[in-house]
Amino acid sequence: MSKATMTLNSSNKKSKENSKLSICIKKISKNKELLIMLIPSILFYIFFVYKPMFGLQIAFKDFSIFKGISASKWVGFKHFSTFINSPFFFKTVKNTLLINVYGLLIGFPIPIILALLLNEVRNLKFKKTVQTLTYLPHFVSIVVIAGIVVNFLSPSSGLVNLIIEKFGGEKIYFLTKPEYFRSIFISMNIWKEAGFSAIVYIAALSGIDPQLYEAAYVDGAGKLKRILNVTIPGLMPTIIILLILKIGKMLTVGFESIILLYQPVTYETADVISTYVYRMGLENSQFDYATAVGLFNSVISLLLVIFANKISRKLSDTSLW
């Protein structure tokens, strides 16, 4: 290839790059207002999400508050090994998985069913009333929700125990019985979040083409068949995406709500990874060990998301990436 040809190709390449750069600059200047609005979100992620990741190295160090992160002694995977070999490992992982599996089996379909039922309601006033009543608990503080649950289940004046007593039964102190804890916790979360979670499915239902329902009606399909053959397939991409995200949280349980309900006598079924991290980190000041347990939890959650996404991509056309 001659020097002239090489020079020509080089100049063409530069001109293309310059044109791309000018197009990019034009797009930025055209959408500068939107980009300026995006700056607070970017700063939030930089300072409150990515910057704190620097502290994850505590999990691999014998951390001392007085020495600081950088000067603390490096111990490798010592804290991870300690957690895996501790008697709390099996118990906390088992409790976390069981609470999430039961929550997935029972709690995941309920918002879908609620959205399907609301979609079939034609009385607008009744529909809005039900939506408001089911959405409302989401906006109430978890402290208030837990307080309501504790009062309802109180052995002295709780509504549940008063009903049991009226039917001739003996009062039960539910919150001191390990066998009742998972059912109480899952029921509380369903009550709090089911209505708000249904919003996503209601939004997805509004995107289904009405002509599909008309075609099914013309073909003689009844209401149930229209739901099974039109509505549910239309919801399936949304269901799969939310299911993948839910599977990714299989080792994550909000410690705030559990701490508000549990007590030492229910640790057998109530103690999960997040509450164990809370106790080790904030109560016992074992920051390095607690960070290692939290990092272990996060890595497993990431692997679960990748696994669920891969399975979804093989079985259907829907996936996160």
Between 83 and 313, residue with greater pLDDT? 83
Q: What is the pLDDT of residue 16?
A: 61
Give yes or no for residue 141 having a pLDDT over 80.
Answer: yes
| In the chain, domain spans | 3-64, 77-315
Mean pLDDT of 250-279: 85
Of the candidates 1, 232, 19, 2, the residue with the CA atom closest to the CA atom of residue 113: 232
Give yes or no for residue 194 having a pLDDT over 60.
Answer: yes
Residue indicated by tokens 């509505």: 231
Q: What is the pLDDT of residue 110?
A: 92
Inter-residue contact 251 to 72 (CB < 8 Å):
no
Mean pLDDT of 108-128: 88
What CA–CA distances, in Å, run from 208 to 220, 226, 234, 244, 317?
Answer: 19, 12, 6, 22, 18
How is domain 77-315 classified at the architecture level of CATH?
Orthogonal Bundle (1.10)
Angstrom distance (rounded) from CA 56 to CA 291: 7
Give yes or no for residue 319 having a pLDDT over 80.
Answer: no
Can you say whether the dihedral through the CA atoms of 12, 17, 23, 26 is positive or negative?
A: negative
Structure tokens at 298: 């996060």
Give yes or no for residue 21 having a pLDDT over 50.
Answer: yes
Give yes or no for residue 20 having a pLDDT over 60.
Answer: yes
SS (H, E, C) the chain: CCHHHHHHHHHHHHHHHHHHHHHHHHHHHHCHHHHHHHHHHHHHHHHHHHHHHHHHHHHHEECCCCCHHHHCEECCCHHHHHHHHCHHHHHHHHHHHHHHHHHHHHHCHHHHHHHHHHHHCCCHHHHHHHHHHHHHHHHCCHHHHHHHHHHHCCCCCCHHHHHHHHCCCCCCCHHHCHHHHHHHHHHHHHHHHHHHHHHHHHHHHHCCCHHHHHHHHHCCCCHHHHHHHHHHHHHHHHHHHHHHHHHHCCCCCCHHHHHHHCCHHHHHHHCCHHHHHHHHHHHCCCHHHHHHHHHHHHHHHHHHHHHHHHHHHHHCCCCCC
Q: What is the pLDDT of residue 8?
A: 47
pLDDT (tens digit, 9 = 90+) per residue, 31-65? 888 888 888 989 998 988 888 888 888 889 998 88
Between 81 and 21, residue with greater pLDDT? 81
Q: What is the pLDDT of residue 44?
A: 92
pTM confidence score = 0.77
Q: What is the pLDDT of residue 172?
A: 87
pLDDT (tens digit, 9 = 90+) per residue, 143-184? 999 999 999 988 888 888 889 888 888 888 888 888 899 999
